[in-house]
Structure 1
Amino acid sequence: MESRVELFALIRRDARVEGLSVRALAAKHKVHRRTVRQALESASPPERKPRQGVAWRLEPFKPAIDAMLTEDTTAPRKQRHTARRILARLVEEHGAEELSYSTVRDYVRVRRAQIDVEAGRRVEVFIPQEQAPGAEVEVDFGEVWVVLNGVKTKCHMFVFRLSNSGRAIHRIYLTQAQEAFLEGHIEAFNVLGGIPTKHIRYDNLTSAVTAVVFGQGRQRQENDRWVLFRSHYGFDPFYCQPGIAGAHEKGGVEGEVGWFRRNRLSPMPVAGSLDELNDRIRAWEVLDDRRRINDRIRTIGQDFALEQPFLAPLPAELFDPGLVLTPRVDRSSMVTARMVKYSVPARFIGRRLRVSLRASEVVVFDGRTVVARHQRIVAKHGQSVQLDHYLEVLKTKPGALPGSTALARSRESGAFTTAHDAFWAASRRVNGDADGTRELIDVLLLHRSMDAGDVQAGITAALGVGAVSADVVAVEARRHSSSVSDGGAGPDRHPVAREDADVQRVVSLTQRRLMDPAAVIAGLPSDTRPLPSVGVYDELLAKRSHPAGIVSKESISWALQHPL
């Protein structure tokens, strides 16, 4: 179908070349004579008149609508008229039964802005911004749900986004408390290799702001630890307007939270731990370097390569992001932090220790020495207990081990393996419950100085030769460690399992007999030695016929050379 411009061009050509009249041109092109005259007057077709539709029905009600919108200029924001409420009032109060919602909505959309201007109210205008490289960053938290160790868990995603290149760092924590807030900054600074030179944009997070000072611009009351942190790293904060009014002031990171949640965390990710999930996120961030934001020419990675040199350098001194507490160790050898108990070595009972409560872990210090480290627990009244912290006490009270919470937790985590159970059962059968448990504890103490895989291999080797001694486990574990380091065997192929291994081992025959007498007796080689005799000593008794019971030197020498 030809356009009106083409039609006008044909009419003008026929009039010019063939000299046809208006009537003839109208008949030839099957149009009204009015159209022919328009074509002869101008090559450009006139604009079509807009279709009036049914908006004319709104005319009698416009004054009433304007009055409602004018009333809204002084009403609370959440109690202003919507287009649907305006239509309902027109029907109830003015009998406007024939008006449609779309007609009222289109009028209200335009007229509300005009009335706001007439009333002297500020109309928000968004002005596109372009930040210098390395100058500015936007930070925000976003809620995400994760299937964590089989449990659907609400988590919080910290997002740190460079305004110029769009390069973003994402980390997921169980909480959005100050520990996670600071830890996210440190992680982002380290990954990006620098600090913005101008400022970082925030909303009014309680991790940084204790109070918004209304009537004094963007002035805020900040908490001391946040002031110390930003002073250490040398950057200035920029706080957005409170509430929804300030969302556009950090629209880049707001959009990044939504994009990452939709494209990387949908459906809900499944992970055994947050460390595993954050490692997966690091790999996704590398992939995101290849994408382009909107209509940019370069990718995020290419823009970041240009921006990175403009970042300020990192300080040489490290900053501990954890909340520092100094609780006292109770009689159960545990400290309490945020209504959660964490175990420490029993030798610290009754003392005060320094606890660094971080976003993902809890670290306990004695002076500058780390004495305990736990995964952080967010649920109140929870416990994190490590079996290693109670070994010295359990050695004096071995009967407390089977029913202890520490052992139960160690089994759940997989640290106490089936190999440990097998050694414990064999040791109790040979040495009795108390001494057998002490042998197991000596084996568990080996984990402090040796790799867990080496100790487990040592247990397997010791049981294979019928030994239930911690000393034998230690020897076998060291042999396994040296063979792996020398390339003689891998972690899945222990030297004991090799048939060609020419290894001499000394094993207690008594222990082997107690563990499995039938197997020991059946496996012993035939004994070809003659039966022992006491005849030699009988000869010594015969020598007592000498005077004064004197035994000759020759007899003594012969007896010493031929022992029983």
Structure 2
Amino acid sequence: MEVFAAIRRDARVEGMSIRALARKHQVGRATVRRALACAEPPARKTPVRASPRLDPFKAAIDDMLRADLDAPRKQRHTARRIHVRLIEEHAATDVSYSTVRDYVRIRRAQIDLEAGRRVEVMVPQEHAPGAEAEVDFGELFVILAGVKTKVFLFTFRLSYSGKAVHRIYATQGQEAFLEGHIAAFQEIGGIPTRHIRYDNLTSTVTRVVNAHGRERVENDRWVLFRSHFGFDPFYCQPGIAGAHEKGGVEGDVGRFRRQHLVPMPVVDSLDELNEKVRAWDTSDDKRRISSRIRTVGEDFATEQTHLAPLPVEGFDPGLMLHPMVDRSAMITVRMARYSVPARFIHRRVRVSLRVSEVVVFDGRTQIARHPRVVTRGGQSVSLDHYLEVLKGKPGALPGSTVLAQARESGVFTPAHEAFWANARRRLGDAAGTRELIDVLLLHRSMTADEVEAGLLAAVSVGAVSADVVAVEARLQAVRDAAAGSGSERHLVAQASGVEQRDADQRVDKRRKVVSLTERLLLDPEAVIAGLPPDNRPLPSMEKYQQLLGRRTGTDNQPSPNESGAPR
């Protein structure tokens, strides 16, 4: 292009001849004449490279490609496999792999056309605001609590704006599928009005009626879910043939994974990871898709007003199960075991299996809640579920699984340990453990902080009674209520501080609580820490003995006096 322009300029400005132009620009005269005749140079001719070494084997390659027309998609010849077969079956040792690869790339498409196979042509589509969305799952690995773990990325993408909502779950079961939808609907503040595009997931589709049509037999719970939220599904063609029908979300899964999840995130829990995912989704609102003028967030602001409103009633995304409680007060859900209150042994309960937790109901009453155990054979037990049983069998507590898990989770604190040690030393193992169980029962009506404050107060004065812990816990509740109400008092009262001082004085007068019954457990002359000495004289029964000495006979008939007359 530059040579043609220079030739035409010299001819126009300098008036040079064809011979002079050819000599100056070092080109042939024919090239000079073409430049003077047309400003655009002719297209370069692509040389056709001959492959004489491959010519004897082209028929064999064509036969292999024609055989692929009826073969399963995942068992068709690759160029490398064809090259290996040519060497093994036809002794084509002089033919390189690159030569075979270039021929197969062109010839395979030609054979498909000769066989009458349909060539897919993508037709550009327009999406109305708030009308459509796409959903898909993707796989990835994270370092979860120090262990490389396979997890699943749920992606919900609005077709108009490209606004996407992502969540990461330990499973891609129906409970995760439904919970991801609820999180997405709440995040965007509405529901698409036309349809949402899906693969033929088992969470939604029970059976594909027609592989080339859209008729499906849907899962009953999925039908209930979409009926509750009021949207219609659009099912893509099965397999790779339908991947392009929701190409937006397919590409977004890969983009999000490459941009935010490389290298593998290192987290302690999936809740921590999902907090990061929410922040990444917010930052992605500032990006532009392809050559669009506006950002994703700006397009979403327009689209959000076209979404259908959310329903007023909530929906439980958990999978409903009805296991039987065994004699250990445990139920088995997805190869993991969970405890329930012991009074439900040999009864059937209702379980809502959710992504991160398991909630157990008796009718409409919630009786237990556990974090979901994803390890096969794992278990989650609560000490509170066995307190009534342990009160009758106190010897079973020290070596129990429930106590070990309570210590590991921090529910059984050092304050509990100190109180239990004192109680067993002073009352004996059985009686001391029963006092501890009475303390643990206080957690059902008081907060953990209040009970722990009561335990610390009881340990500080050497008390080993659950009643002392209960009194001190109530005093802590009074102090918390007084402190909490301080910000709501009138400013004048806050400035004077009279009410606060009065409350503090009342609490201080009752702060130290001692158990009077503990004198019977030790030497009467021993001084218990914090217990004031008792200097009162012992009670005397002498006057009562005098009265009894004057009584004779029975209570129904008075005794006679010395003269025989009744007194």
Establish whether TM, by shorter chain, passes 0.5.
Answer: yes
The match for 2:308 among 286, 309, 312 is 312
Q: 1:32-83: per-residue Cα shift (whole Å, max 9, x none)?
A: 4443333333333333333455567767766665555445434443444433
Q: Deviations over 1:224-256 (max 9, x none)?
A: 222222222222222112222222222222222
Partner Cα distance (1:327, 1:355) in 2: 7
Contact in 1 for aligned 2:5/2:39 (Cα 8 Å): no
SS at match of 2:253: helix
96-105 vs 277-286, which moves further: 96-105
1:79-98 equivalence runs, <5 A:
79-87=75-83
Distance 1:48 1:216 in 2: 45
Change (3 A) 1:112 1:8: farther
Give the corresponding residue for 2:427: 431
Deviation at 1:352, TM superposition (A): 2.3
Structure 1 residues 12, 385: closer, same or farther in 2, change over 3 A? same
Which residue pairs with 2:344 in the alignment? 348
Cα distance change of structure 1 residues 166 and 117 upon mapping to structure 2, 3 Å threshold: same
Structure 2 Cα separation of the partners of residues 235 and 91 of structure 1:
57
Aligned pairs (5 A) from 1:23-42: 23-42=19-38
1:420 deviates by: 0.9
Match of 1:326 in 2: 322
Offset, 1:370 = 0.5
Query: 1:22–1:90: structure 2 CA closer, same or farther, 3 Å change rule?
Result: farther
After TM superposition, give the deviation of residue 31 of structure 1 in Å. Answer: 3.7
Q: Summarize the Cα distance change of 1:512–1:236 in structure 2 as closer, same or farther, 3 Å threshold.
A: farther
Counterparts in 2 of 1:133 and 1:524: CA distance versus 1, 3 Å: closer
How has the CA–CA distance of structure 1 residues 269 and 343 changed in structure 2, closer, same or farther, with 3 Å as cutoff? same
Query: Match of 1:551?
Result: none
Instruction: Give SS of 1:310's match.
Output: coil
Pick the aligned partner of 2:458 from 452, 459, 462.
Answer: 462
**1:333–1:343 CA contact under 8 A, matched in 2:** yes
SS in 1 for 2:375: coil
Shift of 1:93: 7.2
Counterpart of 1:434 in 2: which secondary structure? helix
Label 1:270 to 1:469 Cα distance change in 2 as closer, same or farther (>3 A): farther
Is the 1:172–1:274 contact (alpha carbons within 8 Å) kept by the matching residues of 2? yes
User: Within 2, Cα distance between the matches of 1:353 and 1:537?
Assistant: 62
Range 54-63 or range 100-109, more displaced: 54-63
Match of 1:402 in 2: 398
Q: Residue 89 of structure 1: CA displacement?
A: 5.6
Q: Deviations over 1:80-104 (max 9, x none)?
A: 4433344456667777666544344
Which residue in 1 is equivalent to 2:436?
440
Pairing partner for 2:274 from 271, 278, 282: 278
Report the CA distance shift for 1:449/1:262 in structure 2 as closer, same or farther (over 3 A): farther
Superposition TM-score, scaled by structure 1 size: 0.82
Residues 32/520 of structure 1: CA separation in 2 closer, same or farther (3 Å cut): farther
| Matching of residues 487-526 of structure 1 within 5 Å | 487=483, 502-504=508-510, 505-508=512-515, 511=518
Q: Give, as a single letter, the amino acid of the residue that structure 2 aligns with 1:3.
A: E
**Are 2:27 and 1:9 equivalent residues in the alignment?**
no
> Is the contact made by 1:466 and 1:512 (CA closer than 8 Å) also made in structure 2?
no
Rounded to whole Å, the distance in 2 between the matches of 1:208 and 1:516 is 74
Contact 2:450 2:477 in 1 (8 A): yes
Residues 204 and 242 of structure 1 are in contact (CA less than 8 Å); yes or no, is this contact kept in structure 2?
Answer: yes
Determine if contact 1:467/1:512 at 8 Å carries over to the other structure.
Answer: no
Alpha-carbon distance between aligned partners in 2 of 1:87 and 1:523, rounded to the nearest angstrom: 93
Q: Is the 8 A contact 1:136 1:200 kept in 2?
A: yes
Q: CA deviation at 1:398?
A: 1.5
The verdict on how the C-alpha distance between 1:434 and 1:310 changes in structure 2, with shifts beyond 3 A counting, is same
> Of 407, 410, 423, which aligns to 1:411?
407
Alpha-carbon distance between aligned partners in 2 of 1:294 and 1:224, rounded to the nearest angstrom: 39
Task: Say if 1:76 and 1:521 are closer, same or farther in 2 by CA, change over 3 A.
Answer: closer
Q: Do 1:461 and 1:476's aligned partners in 2 also have CA atoms closer than 8 Å?
A: yes
CA distance in 1, matches of 2:382, 2:233: 41
Provide the secondary structure at the position in 2 that maps to 1:328: coil
Distance 1:207 1:436 in 2: 53
Contact (CA 8 Å) 1:199, 1:238: kept in 2 or not?
yes
Q: Secondary structure at the match of 1:487?
A: helix
Equivalence map 1:179-198=2 (5 Å): 179-198=175-194
In structure 2, do the counterparts of structure 1 residues 370 and 293 end up closer, same or farther at CA, with 3 Å as the change threshold?
A: same
Tell me, yes or no, if the aligned pair for 1:159 and 1:168 is still in contact at 8 Å.
yes
- Residue-pair matches, total: 530
Q: CA deviation at 1:386?
A: 0.6
CA displacement at 1:196 relative to structure 2:
1.6
Q: 1:525 to 1:437 in 2, by over 3 A?
A: closer
Q: Aligned residue for 2:565? A: none
The one of 132, 152, 167 equivalent to 1:156 is: 152
Where does structure 2 lack aligned partners over 5 or more consecutive residues? 487-500, 551-567
CA–CA separation in structure 2 for the residues paired with 1:442 and 1:526: 29
TM-score (norm 2): 0.82
Q: Matched residues in 2 for 1:112 and 1:430: separation?
A: 89
* Distance in 1 of aligned mates of 2:263 and 2:324: 44
Give structure 1 stretches of 5+ with no counterpart.
549-564
The 1:301–1:471 alpha-carbon spacing in structure 2 relative to 1, beyond 3 Å, is farther
Q: Is the 8 A contact 1:11 1:39 kept in 2?
A: no
State whether structure 2 residue 326 is matched by structure 1 residue 362: no
SS of residue paired to 1:329? coil
- Whichever residue aligns with residue 214 of structure 2, its letter is R
Q: Measure, in 2, the Cα distance between the counterparts of 1:520 and 1:295.
A: 86
Distance 1:465 1:503, change over 3 A: farther
Change over 3 Å in CA distance of 1:34–1:537 after alignment to 2: closer
Measure how far apart 1:427 and its partner are. Answer: 1.6
Which of 46, 53, 58 is residue 50 of structure 1 equivalent to?
46
Rounded to whole Å, the distance in 2 between the matches of 1:20 and 1:184 is 76
Counterpart Cα distance in 2 of 1:233 and 1:191: 15
Change (3 A) 1:437 1:311: same
1:118 aligns with 2:114: yes
CA distance in 1, matches of 2:19, 2:44: 23
Q: Distance in 2 between matches of 1:47 and 1:248?
A: 36
Is 1:421 the counterpart of 2:417? The answer is yes
Aligned to 1:168: 164
* Counterpart-to-counterpart distance in 1, 2:7 and 2:519: 111
Indicate the residue corresponding to 2:255 in structure 1: 259
SS at match of 1:460: helix
Q: Aligned equivalents of 2:525 and 2:295: distance in 1?
A: 74
Question: Judging changes above 3 Å, is the alpha-carbon distance between structure 1 residues 252 and 513 closer, same or farther for their aligned structure 2 residues?
Answer: farther
Q: Tell me if the contact between 1:334 and 1:342 (Cα under 8 Å) persists in the aligned partners.
A: yes
Residue 460 and residue 198 in structure 1: after superposition, are their counterparts in 2 closer, same or farther (change >3 A)? same
SS in 1 for 2:385: helix
What one-letter code is carried by the residue in structure 1 that aligns with 2:446? Answer: M
* Structure-2 change in CA distance of 1:489 and 1:232 (3 Å): closer
Counterpart check, 1:204 vs 2:204: no
